[in-house]
Chains A and B, each alone.
Chain A
Amino acid sequence: MKLRYLTAALIGSASFAFAGQAFAAPSCGANTGVAATGEPIVVGGIHGNAPPGDFSASTDAAKAYFDCVNANGGINGRPIDYQIENDQWNPELAAQAAAKLVKDAGAVALVGNGSFIEMAVNAGTYKEENIMVMASACAISECFESSNIVSTNQGPLPSNLGAAQYAQEELGSTNVACIGFNIPNNGPWSCQPVIDLMKARGGDGSMQLLNPGAPDVNSALLEAISTGADTILMNLPAGLAIAVLKAAEEQDLRDDYIWIAPTPLYDLSVPGAIGEYWNGKIFVNAELAPFQMGGPDALNWVEVMDAYASPDDPRDTFAQSGYLSATYFVKTLLEMDPADVDDRAKVTEAIKAIAGYTSDLMCGPYYVGDTDFHMPNHAGFMLQILDGGFKIVRDCYEFDSAYFEPHIAVEQSLGLR
């Protein structure tokens, strides 16, 4: 808990250091400074929050932004009624949450969703009901390969690719062992493109799959080593990745391998948790701008969180992502005819028409398009865990994979390339 405050304090301090100017109040929506009092516009959000994981950071941040928008004129004077449901990692509850928001409450869109479960369960419902989900904390294939879900976060597939690409180009990796979950729409889905990338570049790769509840990560690590890999990619949530690192430390394997990870390890509490032993030895991909970048949106995110979120709400990548989804959604509504913002079909149409919103939090443009797949965010940063923090070792770079060919084609058709 203390770490959350520390993170917030660090980010807050960094924002002042970079800005060199005082921010009196965050900038939100129409920014009128007058509270919206009209008829509310119902918007939903679903997160998963129950042991073993809490994905509520994205909806927390989206709520903070919507509260800020409501205090600043809302959507043409109408406040956003943001209703949040928790799927508790339970497919049945996930389906109930979607039914409640989409069918009963009549939400015009869902924003800030973050879950391992919800998207797989409800992707069909969203398509049938013609409602768009501007998600923020996605980790499974359905989130990126569905017609009515688009996320500001990358998920494990691009982030893995970014980490492996950097390791191959800068650290001399030739054989990457990807340790992931034995869940088809997560582990194999996100490890296979890494293997393909390495093979395409004359190297090799393999995947070692863990059952999410398996207590023993040592076997996966030993399996990875037995493949002859020179690089270990920890495609896991931070807690499990740390368990892998602890098992590796037990075997004193630090200097024998290159250690890389996707975004989940980009958490300010990680360097302290893994200790001095790993200083300078782990490279982590970040799918959104690292906290020290301090661009206008990054600073505004901090201001919004400080003013409208609970001090206990996480200030992490998922929170950035939730904030970003909420800002894009509000921008879309403000650009619509005020008479249409209650019409779900027209809101869906407007969201699908988004083509090229930009933010300093994201490397590339954000777009949606009328396709059966959406992954606008497929470029990122590379960081090194160093001296108790994260050092940027590569600025925005695009990830190289055949997987992105259809996405690039869409970007070309939208004039974004």
Chain B
Amino acid sequence: MRNFKYLNWVIYLVVMVGIISFLGWGKPTKIIGLFFVSGLAVGSLYALGGIGMVVLYRATGVLNFANGAAGAAGVMLAWQLGQWGVWAPLTWLACILLALAISLTYGRLVAPRLAWREPVVKAVATLGFALIVLGIVSFLWIDDPRTFSLPTDKVGVYILGLRVTVTRLITFLASVSIVVGIYFYLSRTVVGLQMRALANDRDLSALIGIPILKVETIAWGISGVIAGFTGLMFGDLIRLEPTVITFMVIPSVAAAVCGRLDNLALVLIGGLSMGVIESLLTLSQTLKGVRPIAPFVIAAIVLIWYQRGTRLTFGTKD
């Protein structure tokens, strides 16, 4: 079994090297480096979004499509407060608090009423909630050119010829830190243990007295904070458009699927790989048109590879 695990990693490395070589064939190394680093930056955003989804899914069984909308609402509020002259750190805090409030509102008021429904019903309900939040945000802030910047945008380092701002480094490091932090939280704390128990069997967990509502509220809270932070980064690094930020959850879902909605390390690696491949596809005149679907093709290939066994990813029971 251990050998089989290693085999997966070897295959992954060979495939990635093969793809990078194929797409970068004949191009100067510097150009490939530029696109590689640029892809890592976007990939870390995909991964960040995916991690937020998986953390919640593992504890509550809800695949939350509203994370992007919560982040979009948060960063729009941060922008508005900035326009009104509020001290910048307070605007960032407001972003995270609003996303947290949106997440908790759904988690406490709506999610418990759907707790016994199928995973697909729960997921689609969050999509409806996302559209409501997006509608309100679009009503409050009509389509207008806006930008949102963080002070860390001004400072950067050169990696493989590309200037990488501290904001991008923060995003990348935050992705890794959240994966590590969540890993230890789940494995070393009582609430983490309870979350794992819930993820494993909700019925049984309720029977043995695990405070389901409390544990789920904490999970929604963690997810909301990650959504707020992700929104802040998306607004700065992608663009300050609520629709774009809201639907960044779509490639994030692909990253989450790479980790089979379970393994955070795989979500991180999946997200980064998607970003790199998507970026390098730009170098191919033939294939650059398929860039938008690249994350989903990758997710499908990963699923097919892992589904060689019998485990179901979206089933109620494995």
Contact = CB atoms under 8 A, between A and B. Distances in A.
28 contacts: A4-B142, A51-B242, A51-B243, A52-B241, A52-B244, A182-B289, A215-B42, A215-B45, A215-B234, A216-B38, A216-B279, A217-B239, A218-B41, A222-B34, A222-B162, A223-B282, A226-B31, A239-B143, A239-B145, A242-B147, A242-B239, A243-B238, A243-B239, A246-B149, A246-B239, A249-B153, A274-B147, A275-B147
Contacts of B214: none
Given A4-B144, A250-B165, 18 more contacts: A51-B143, A214-B291, A216-B278, A218-B38, A218-B41, A218-B42, A218-B279, A219-B39, A220-B282, A222-B282, A226-B34, A239-B145, A239-B239, A246-B149, A249-B153, A250-B163, A270-B145, A275-B147
B146 interface: yes
Interface in A234-251: 238-240, 242-243, 246, 249-251
Q: Binding site of B, secondary structure by majority: helix, strand, loop or mixed?
A: helix
B112 interface: no
Which of B39, B165, B244 has the most CB atoms of chain A within a 10 A radius of its CB? B244
Contacts of B239: 215, 217, 239-240, 242-243, 246
A213 B238 CA distance: 11
B138 interface: yes
Q: Which of A51, A216, A220 is the most central at the interface, judged by chain B CB atoms within 10 Å of its CB?
A: A216
B224 to A, nearest CB: 22
A416 interface: no
B18 interface: no
B172 interface: no
A252 interface: yes
Nearest to A54: B143
Contacts of B156: 250
B166 to A, nearest CB: 11
A267 interface: yes
Contacts of B145: 238-239, 242, 267, 269-270, 273
5 smallest beta-carbon distances between A and B, as pairs: A51-B243, A243-B239, A238-B145, A219-B282, A54-B143
Interface in A1-58: 1-4, 51-54
Interface in B68-122: 83
B296 interface: no
A251 B292 contact: no
Nearest to A252: B163
B82 to A, nearest CB: 12
A310 interface: no
Contacts of A219: 35, 38-39, 278-279, 282, 291
